Structure 1
């Protein structure tokens, strides 16, 4: 996967995100869903893979207010992971797109060479014919490792 051009974000599938996280390409996955989603829906399981993941709410639960510490928390996680690529993941790809764009602008503003990517389809993906997620597309539907607490 090529890095996005300056000021732009990249777009990857869940499978590509998984491969990037495992490949040693200095990639960090940032799951921007809420604590409730991580707990009740599940989360990517990278434990055995040795890959890095950070859980940072884009909006706070309950209520959906923007997380005022989002930018600085992601910056700290990126520095701790020593990554040059960040893969943003949410339920279906909308919040993660906004988060990736926000962080790409921040890294450009501060002169840091970090490429931000949105994980298309997200963790649960699109609704299926029965109005349910997690079956048609997304991290779970593609059979990538995940866990539920």
Structure 2
């Protein structure tokens, strides 16, 4: 009975993991071609204790927007240059974190993980930082990288009085576990 239940759960998980569609925009696709939405990522983390959630957002986002304690690796793939302002995008310019790969490999080693381990990358919306990070990791031999397509905050609403707010899908809007509280690792 237990074996049948476990087999059914694994089968359901493998079916659900392939449910997240491949992004239409080629710029948002990754060499690995592995995509999950936040609910599928959560399910994967619950059923596969070897899967590792990687939050590639900035420390400012972790503290002020929130984060999940399920992220075992928290390393920004980009940082903001507060000396340069982008007038067109109305925000500070972002620059690649030149230490991302070395920080990632150090964090993975502490978890006894390797290039073969299963990683799920999460950024804000699933479209701007997780894909470039997956592409970088692919160049270093990491082939089992999933991109969470709806990110931590999800998509912007298209109409109504909340138009433009990130209130659709995503980790936070799916009522998955998250917090504002930062815990210093011991």
What is residue 31 of structure 1 aligned with on the other side?
A: 55
Match of 1:141 among 158, 165, 173: 173
Task: Summarize deviations over 1:37-82 as a string: whole Å, max 9, x none.
Answer: 1110000132xxxxx5211011113442211110111122222223
Greater gyration radius: 2
Structure 1: 4+ residue segments shifted above 6 A: none
Of structures 1 and 2, the one with the larger relative CO (CA 8 A, separation 6+) is: 1
1:116 is aligned to 2:145? yes
Match of 1:77 among 107, 110, 130: 107
Task: Please give the secondary structure, in 1, of the residue aligned with 2:119.
Answer: strand
Alpha carbons 1:11, 1:120 under 8 Å: kept:
yes
Alpha carbons 1:26, 1:82 under 8 Å: kept:
no
| TM-score where L is the length of structure 1 | 0.81
Instruction: Report 1:30-49 matches (<5 A).
Output: 30-46=54-70
Aligned partners of 2:78, 2:110: CA distance in 1, in Å? 22
Aligned length: 135
| TM-score where L is the length of structure 2 | 0.66
Aligned partners of 1:13, 1:115: CA distance in 2, in Å? 16
* Contiguous gaps of at least 5 residues in structure 1: 47-51, 109-113
Question: What RMSD in Å do the two structures reach over aligned CA positions?
Answer: 2.0
What is residue 49 of structure 1 aligned with on the other side?
A: none
Aligned partners of 1:61, 1:148: CA distance in 2, in Å? 21
Aligned partners of 2:104, 2:141: CA distance in 1, in Å? 11
Task: Summarize deviations over 1:72-129 as a string: whole Å, max 9, x none.
Answer: 1112222222341010000011211111121122115xxxxx5001001000011113
